[in-house]
Structure 1
């Protein structure tokens, strides 16, 4: 009986683990920091970007996007803030939605995280997606269905951004995106304050991403239905989302 009990316990744990893996977003821990990590196979899940509502105004929140989708018979399954934006909540760098370029690539120098070069893009095109440094993306001549520019890059071809220090003193809640292969995007949000170097190591050393991009800090927000979570602390610019029919 004891043997059967152990067997059922193991099977239960395996089933629970499999359900978490299929759920998309799961709690994770790396180097004594807590994260939520959301992994999507683009061959199975169709991610999209959202910025402006039908009236041409920014959605600004998961709540507003969820309500708009509900009217169309759709469900917001996953969402995360997805790129730098200005005071008007509109993108300040390249932004492509449904194949239409709303904003061209921003190659200017300036203050702030976005201009801590190299910055970069994350993009989705059918069942493929990825993260690339801005100049490499433009040189490749890609025209994806969705793209958002943000910065700085966290990991560039396996190397951590050269301006990050392991002992960096800027600690914030942060979120970002990486791509371990051409069909997978991995999003992560820290549950506490981390510095850039630590966050970059998460993507490179723990999540297996040779390229990863910082999406934002402080306002970092996540909507995950399976975790019964929908952050609503700050106004948001571009949003990446997984939407399904209800």
Structure 2
């Protein structure tokens, strides 16, 4: 297991290291791991439970299930917020089917920091839509997960994300290129603010839309980089299979 943490505010300069699809980068003196995939080439999926209905909960459980099918997990991270019983807070369309419906309710916490959004995969194309727009479009994608808040919307940082915010946590999220072909998954390797994290997607990865997936419990599986992070049980998992 490899975890590269640094104290908030430190001027960290990690080497621009690569491991297959993933690389370590430094953006505005903060370290991140970014993994990029092609929606028209790579097998990106959402996972929640196996054929018997047992929740995966951990990367290792998912790895073993895929290996039994003759498949290899090459990347994964937690794929959206969940309740104490690990049921997703919002909509999830995973390998085992749909969980709940698109949640546009008002409420507390990051998920309800409107607008929230849905990351979806449909054939050779990916996208991130504001939740209400996702419903209006009537999409029926192959896979989808709802989370919140949106980090970047049409090239602009979420209007209520404060540039002077002081809350620092480990965070992970997803952004999609303008043409819907390239998907970027990112996780901070130190404690960062929402604005720090949103700026990574807007200014370094140049994704017009990006979605926050989770914080504090965020972790990554990237075996080519020697990373198989352990922790509490998870709900939705997003992964790439070969």
Q: Secondary structure at the match of 1:240?
A: strand
Q: Secondary structure at the match of 1:73?
A: coil
TM-score by length of 1: 0.88
2:7 maps to which residue?
none
Equivalent residue in structure 2 for 1:67, among 56, 64, 68: 64
Cα drift, residue 92 of structure 1: 1.6
Q: 1:223/1:99 Cα in 2 relative to 1: closer, same or farther (>3 Å)?
A: closer
Query: What is the 5 A alignment of 1:162-201?
Result: 162-180=159-177, 181-201=179-199
Report the count of equivalent residues: 226
Query: What is the 5 A alignment of 1:1-150?
Result: 20=18, 23-98=20-95, 100-150=97-147
Q: Show structure 2 runs of 5+ residues with no match.
A: 1-15
| 1:56-78 residue CA offsets vs partner (Å, 9 max, x unmatched) | 12110101111111222221110
Of 32-41 and 89-98, deviating more is 89-98
Q: 1:76/1:44 Cα in 2 relative to 1: closer, same or farther (>3 Å)?
A: same
CA distance in 1: counterparts of 2:91 and 2:210, whole angstroms = 17
2:5 maps to which residue?
none
Of 99-108 and 150-159, deviating more is 99-108
1:207 maps to which residue?
205
Q: Show structure 1 runs of 5+ residues with no match.
A: 1-16
Q: Secondary structure at the match of 1:74?
A: coil
Q: Secondary structure at the match of 1:155?
A: strand
Answer yes or no: is the 8 Å Cα contact 1:95–1:149 preserved in 2. Answer: yes
1:228 maps to which residue?
226
CA distance in 1: counterparts of 2:167 and 2:203, whole angstroms = 21
Larger Rg: 1
Answer yes or no: is the 8 Å Cα contact 2:48–2:95 preserved in 1. Answer: no
Answer yes or no: is the 8 Å Cα contact 2:90–2:101 preserved in 1. Answer: yes
CA distance in 2: counterparts of 1:129 and 1:240, whole angstroms = 13
CA distance in 2: counterparts of 1:109 and 1:163, whole angstroms = 15
Cα drift, residue 234 of structure 1: 2.0
Answer yes or no: is the 8 Å Cα contact 1:160–1:201 preserved in 2. Answer: yes
Segments of 4+ moved more than 3 angstroms: none
TM-score by length of 2: 0.90
Cα drift, residue 98 of structure 1: 4.4
